[in-house]
Amino acid sequence: LEIMGSRERLEETKWALFGKGALAILNAADSVSRRRANELASDPHWFATEEFVPSLPSRGGSAKLTALLEDRVVHRARGKSIEYPVDFQLPGEHNRASAAAAIAGAIDFEVPLDHMLDAIANLELPQGRYDSIPLQNGTRLIYDAYNANASGMIAALDAFASERASRRIAVLGGMAELGSESRELHERVGAHAASRVDLLVIRGEYATDLVRGAIRGGLSPAQIVFVESNVQAAAWLRQHANPDDVILLKGSRKYKLELGR
Protein backbone atom coordinates (compact mmCIF):
# COMPACT_ATOMS: atom_id res chain seq x y z
CA LEU A 1 0.00 0.00 0.00
CA GLU A 2 2.86 2.39 0.73
CA ILE A 3 4.22 1.85 -2.80
CA MET A 4 0.90 1.72 -4.69
CA GLY A 5 -0.73 4.56 -2.76
CA SER A 6 -4.23 3.14 -2.37
CA ARG A 7 -6.25 -0.06 -2.48
CA GLU A 8 -7.97 1.22 -5.63
CA ARG A 9 -4.69 1.61 -7.52
CA LEU A 10 -3.57 -1.80 -6.33
CA GLU A 11 -6.85 -3.31 -7.55
CA GLU A 12 -6.61 -1.64 -10.97
CA THR A 13 -2.99 -2.69 -11.45
CA LYS A 14 -3.69 -6.32 -10.61
CA TRP A 15 -6.89 -6.43 -12.65
CA ALA A 16 -5.07 -5.02 -15.70
CA LEU A 17 -3.28 -8.38 -16.01
CA PHE A 18 -6.46 -9.80 -17.52
CA GLY A 19 -6.61 -7.05 -20.15
CA LYS A 20 -3.88 -8.86 -22.13
CA GLY A 21 -5.87 -12.08 -22.26
CA ALA A 22 -4.50 -13.82 -19.16
CA LEU A 23 -6.72 -16.62 -17.91
CA ALA A 24 -8.46 -15.59 -14.69
CA ILE A 25 -8.27 -17.96 -11.72
CA LEU A 26 -10.09 -16.12 -8.97
CA ASN A 27 -10.76 -16.54 -5.26
CA ALA A 28 -14.47 -17.15 -4.69
CA ALA A 29 -14.14 -15.51 -1.25
CA ASP A 30 -12.73 -12.27 -2.68
CA SER A 31 -15.32 -9.49 -2.98
CA VAL A 32 -13.38 -7.58 -5.67
CA SER A 33 -13.12 -10.68 -7.87
CA ARG A 34 -16.82 -11.42 -7.51
CA ARG A 35 -17.72 -7.82 -8.30
CA ARG A 36 -15.51 -7.53 -11.38
CA ALA A 37 -15.73 -11.03 -12.88
CA ASN A 38 -18.29 -9.94 -15.49
CA GLU A 39 -15.70 -7.54 -16.95
CA LEU A 40 -13.64 -10.51 -18.18
CA ALA A 41 -13.74 -11.71 -21.77
CA SER A 42 -14.56 -15.24 -20.57
CA ASP A 43 -15.70 -16.90 -17.35
CA PRO A 44 -12.99 -17.33 -14.71
CA HIS A 45 -12.02 -20.54 -12.96
CA TRP A 46 -12.95 -20.04 -9.31
CA PHE A 47 -11.12 -21.63 -6.38
CA ALA A 48 -12.35 -22.02 -2.82
CA THR A 49 -12.01 -23.85 0.48
CA GLU A 50 -15.76 -24.58 0.55
CA GLU A 51 -17.63 -26.81 -1.85
CA PHE A 52 -20.80 -24.76 -2.15
CA VAL A 53 -20.22 -21.09 -2.95
CA PRO A 54 -23.45 -19.18 -3.72
CA SER A 55 -24.05 -16.93 -6.73
CA LEU A 56 -20.69 -16.96 -8.49
CA PRO A 57 -20.81 -14.85 -11.66
CA SER A 58 -21.05 -17.03 -14.78
CA ARG A 59 -22.26 -16.39 -18.31
CA GLY A 60 -22.90 -20.08 -18.94
CA GLY A 61 -25.05 -20.51 -15.84
CA SER A 62 -22.65 -22.97 -14.17
CA ALA A 63 -19.44 -21.52 -12.77
CA LYS A 64 -16.23 -23.56 -12.96
CA LEU A 65 -15.07 -24.17 -9.40
CA THR A 66 -12.22 -26.09 -7.76
CA ALA A 67 -12.49 -26.47 -3.98
CA LEU A 68 -9.93 -27.97 -1.63
CA LEU A 69 -11.75 -29.12 1.48
CA GLU A 70 -10.32 -30.58 4.68
CA ASP A 71 -10.64 -34.15 3.45
CA ARG A 72 -11.23 -34.01 -0.30
CA VAL A 73 -10.79 -32.00 -3.49
CA VAL A 74 -13.79 -31.20 -5.69
CA HIS A 75 -13.94 -29.88 -9.25
CA ARG A 76 -17.18 -28.70 -10.91
CA ALA A 77 -17.50 -27.65 -14.55
CA ARG A 78 -20.18 -27.80 -17.27
CA GLY A 79 -22.70 -29.19 -14.83
CA LYS A 80 -20.50 -32.15 -13.87
CA SER A 81 -18.61 -32.76 -10.63
CA ILE A 82 -15.69 -34.99 -9.70
CA GLU A 83 -14.07 -35.42 -6.30
CA TYR A 84 -11.30 -37.41 -4.64
CA PRO A 85 -10.35 -37.92 -1.00
CA VAL A 86 -7.11 -36.18 -0.11
CA ASP A 87 -4.95 -35.77 2.98
CA PHE A 88 -3.92 -32.10 3.00
CA GLN A 89 -1.36 -31.48 5.75
CA LEU A 90 -0.52 -27.77 5.62
CA PRO A 91 -1.87 -25.62 8.49
CA GLY A 92 -4.34 -22.80 7.95
CA GLU A 93 -7.18 -22.12 5.55
CA HIS A 94 -5.00 -19.59 3.69
CA ASN A 95 -2.63 -22.38 2.64
CA ARG A 96 -5.59 -24.48 1.51
CA ALA A 97 -6.80 -21.55 -0.60
CA SER A 98 -3.36 -21.16 -2.21
CA ALA A 99 -3.25 -24.89 -2.96
CA ALA A 100 -6.76 -24.74 -4.45
CA ALA A 101 -5.62 -21.95 -6.78
CA ALA A 102 -2.63 -24.02 -7.90
CA ILE A 103 -4.85 -27.06 -8.50
CA ALA A 104 -7.26 -24.95 -10.56
CA GLY A 105 -4.35 -23.68 -12.66
CA ALA A 106 -3.06 -27.21 -13.24
CA ILE A 107 -6.53 -28.34 -14.34
CA ASP A 108 -6.60 -25.51 -16.89
CA PHE A 109 -3.26 -26.83 -18.18
CA GLU A 110 -5.04 -30.18 -18.66
CA VAL A 111 -3.38 -32.02 -15.77
CA PRO A 112 -5.90 -34.69 -14.62
CA LEU A 113 -7.03 -34.09 -11.06
CA ASP A 114 -6.32 -37.67 -9.98
CA HIS A 115 -2.69 -37.23 -11.11
CA MET A 116 -2.23 -34.49 -8.51
CA LEU A 117 -3.37 -36.35 -5.40
CA ASP A 118 0.05 -37.50 -4.18
CA ALA A 119 1.50 -34.03 -4.72
CA ILE A 120 -1.36 -32.40 -2.78
CA ALA A 121 -0.87 -34.79 0.15
CA ASN A 122 2.89 -34.21 0.26
CA LEU A 123 3.03 -30.42 -0.07
CA GLU A 124 5.58 -28.66 2.13
CA LEU A 125 5.90 -24.97 2.88
CA PRO A 126 9.09 -23.08 2.00
CA GLN A 127 11.52 -22.29 4.79
CA GLY A 128 10.28 -19.50 7.02
CA ARG A 129 6.60 -20.27 6.45
CA TYR A 130 5.07 -21.77 9.59
CA ASP A 131 8.16 -23.80 10.46
CA SER A 132 7.51 -25.90 13.59
CA ILE A 133 10.71 -26.12 15.65
CA PRO A 134 10.90 -28.14 18.92
CA LEU A 135 13.15 -26.55 21.56
CA GLN A 136 15.24 -28.38 24.11
CA ASN A 137 13.04 -27.46 27.07
CA GLY A 138 9.94 -28.95 25.41
CA THR A 139 8.54 -25.66 24.16
CA ARG A 140 7.65 -25.55 20.47
CA LEU A 141 8.45 -22.56 18.26
CA ILE A 142 6.55 -21.70 15.07
CA TYR A 143 8.65 -19.43 12.87
CA ASP A 144 6.50 -17.64 10.29
CA ALA A 145 8.39 -14.37 9.96
CA TYR A 146 9.52 -14.55 6.34
CA ASN A 147 7.34 -11.47 5.86
CA ALA A 148 4.02 -10.03 7.03
CA ASN A 149 1.04 -7.96 6.01
CA ALA A 150 -2.35 -7.66 7.71
CA SER A 151 -4.05 -10.55 5.91
CA GLY A 152 -0.96 -12.74 6.43
CA MET A 153 -0.80 -11.88 10.12
CA ILE A 154 -4.48 -12.70 10.58
CA ALA A 155 -4.14 -15.97 8.64
CA ALA A 156 -1.13 -17.05 10.73
CA LEU A 157 -2.96 -16.20 13.96
CA ASP A 158 -5.98 -18.23 12.82
CA ALA A 159 -3.75 -21.25 12.13
CA PHE A 160 -1.94 -20.68 15.44
CA ALA A 161 -5.24 -20.73 17.33
CA SER A 162 -5.69 -24.40 16.43
CA GLU A 163 -2.36 -25.40 18.00
CA ARG A 164 -2.70 -27.57 21.09
CA ALA A 165 -0.73 -26.13 24.00
CA SER A 166 -1.12 -25.01 27.58
CA ARG A 167 -0.53 -21.44 26.38
CA ARG A 168 -0.21 -19.85 22.95
CA ILE A 169 2.34 -17.01 23.00
CA ALA A 170 2.65 -14.78 19.91
CA VAL A 171 5.73 -12.63 19.35
CA LEU A 172 4.62 -9.98 16.86
CA GLY A 173 6.87 -7.51 15.09
CA GLY A 174 5.46 -4.72 12.96
CA MET A 175 4.27 -4.73 9.35
CA ALA A 176 6.11 -2.58 6.82
CA GLU A 177 5.02 -0.68 3.68
CA LEU A 178 1.38 -0.12 4.66
CA GLY A 179 1.47 3.65 4.16
CA SER A 180 -1.36 5.73 5.60
CA GLU A 181 -3.22 2.61 6.79
CA SER A 182 -0.37 1.44 9.02
CA ARG A 183 -1.86 2.36 12.39
CA GLU A 184 -5.37 1.13 11.53
CA LEU A 185 -4.10 -2.24 10.22
CA HIS A 186 -1.82 -2.81 13.21
CA GLU A 187 -4.72 -2.11 15.55
CA ARG A 188 -6.90 -4.54 13.56
CA VAL A 189 -4.25 -7.26 13.85
CA GLY A 190 -3.93 -6.64 17.58
CA ALA A 191 -7.68 -6.97 18.06
CA HIS A 192 -7.71 -10.21 16.06
CA ALA A 193 -4.81 -11.61 18.07
CA ALA A 194 -6.71 -11.06 21.32
CA SER A 195 -9.05 -13.98 20.62
CA ARG A 196 -6.29 -16.25 19.31
CA VAL A 197 -3.52 -16.12 21.92
CA ASP A 198 -2.97 -16.22 25.66
CA LEU A 199 0.03 -13.86 25.71
CA LEU A 200 1.40 -11.25 23.31
CA VAL A 201 5.03 -10.16 23.11
CA ILE A 202 5.16 -7.05 20.92
CA ARG A 203 7.88 -4.93 19.33
CA GLY A 204 8.24 -2.60 16.39
CA GLU A 205 7.36 0.88 15.20
CA TYR A 206 3.61 0.33 15.59
CA ALA A 207 3.71 -1.62 18.84
CA THR A 208 1.39 0.83 20.59
CA ASP A 209 -1.24 0.31 17.88
CA LEU A 210 -0.99 -3.48 18.26
CA VAL A 211 -1.40 -3.05 22.03
CA ARG A 212 -4.39 -0.75 21.62
CA GLY A 213 -6.09 -3.28 19.34
CA ALA A 214 -5.29 -6.21 21.63
CA ILE A 215 -6.82 -4.45 24.64
CA ARG A 216 -9.85 -3.50 22.58
CA GLY A 217 -10.12 -7.15 21.57
CA GLY A 218 -10.21 -8.31 25.18
CA LEU A 219 -6.65 -8.97 26.35
CA SER A 220 -5.66 -7.44 29.67
CA PRO A 221 -2.46 -5.37 30.01
CA ALA A 222 -1.03 -8.24 32.09
CA GLN A 223 -1.25 -10.48 28.99
CA ILE A 224 0.83 -8.09 26.86
CA VAL A 225 4.61 -7.72 27.03
CA PHE A 226 6.35 -4.84 25.23
CA VAL A 227 9.99 -5.36 24.18
CA GLU A 228 12.37 -3.08 22.33
CA SER A 229 14.46 -5.74 20.58
CA ASN A 230 14.65 -9.40 19.63
CA VAL A 231 17.21 -9.87 22.41
CA GLN A 232 14.66 -8.71 24.99
CA ALA A 233 11.99 -10.95 23.48
CA ALA A 234 14.29 -13.99 23.62
CA ALA A 235 15.29 -13.22 27.21
CA TRP A 236 11.64 -12.91 28.27
CA LEU A 237 10.75 -16.19 26.57
CA ARG A 238 13.66 -18.04 28.21
CA GLN A 239 12.47 -16.87 31.60
CA HIS A 240 8.70 -17.26 31.19
CA ALA A 241 7.89 -19.88 28.53
CA ASN A 242 6.84 -23.29 29.87
CA PRO A 243 7.50 -26.72 28.30
CA ASP A 244 3.87 -27.10 27.16
CA ASP A 245 3.70 -23.66 25.52
CA VAL A 246 3.80 -22.97 21.78
CA ILE A 247 5.34 -19.72 20.49
CA LEU A 248 4.61 -17.94 17.20
CA LEU A 249 7.13 -15.54 15.63
CA LYS A 250 5.46 -13.28 13.06
CA GLY A 251 6.55 -9.96 11.57
CA SER A 252 7.85 -8.17 8.49
CA ARG A 253 11.29 -8.92 7.08
CA LYS A 254 12.73 -5.67 8.46
CA TYR A 255 12.40 -7.02 12.03
CA LYS A 256 14.43 -10.19 11.30
CA LEU A 257 12.78 -12.15 14.06
CA GLU A 258 15.09 -15.10 13.46
CA LEU A 259 17.98 -13.02 14.82
CA GLY A 260 18.64 -12.22 18.48
CA ARG A 261 19.20 -8.52 18.20
Q: d(Cα 211, Cα 176) in Å, to the nearest integer?
A: 17
Cβ atoms within 10 A of the Cβ of 153, count? 26
The per-residue pLDDT for range 67-94, each reduced to its tens digit, is 999 999 999 998 899 999 999 999 999 9
The per-residue pLDDT for range 16-26, each reduced to its tens digit, is 999 888 899 99
- Nearest CA to 29 out of 130, 98, 90 is that of 98
- Nearest CA to 170 out of 179, 159, 184 is that of 159
| Side-chain half-sphere exposure of 260, counting CA atoms within 13 A | 7
Considering the entire predicted model, what is its pTM? 0.83
Strand pairing report for 199-202 and 224-226: parallel
Q: DSSP assignment, residue 165?
A: S
Q: d(Cα 161, Cα 236) in Å, to the nearest integer?
A: 22
**Going by C-beta distance under 8 Å and a sequence separation of 6 or more, which residues neighbour residue 35?**
none
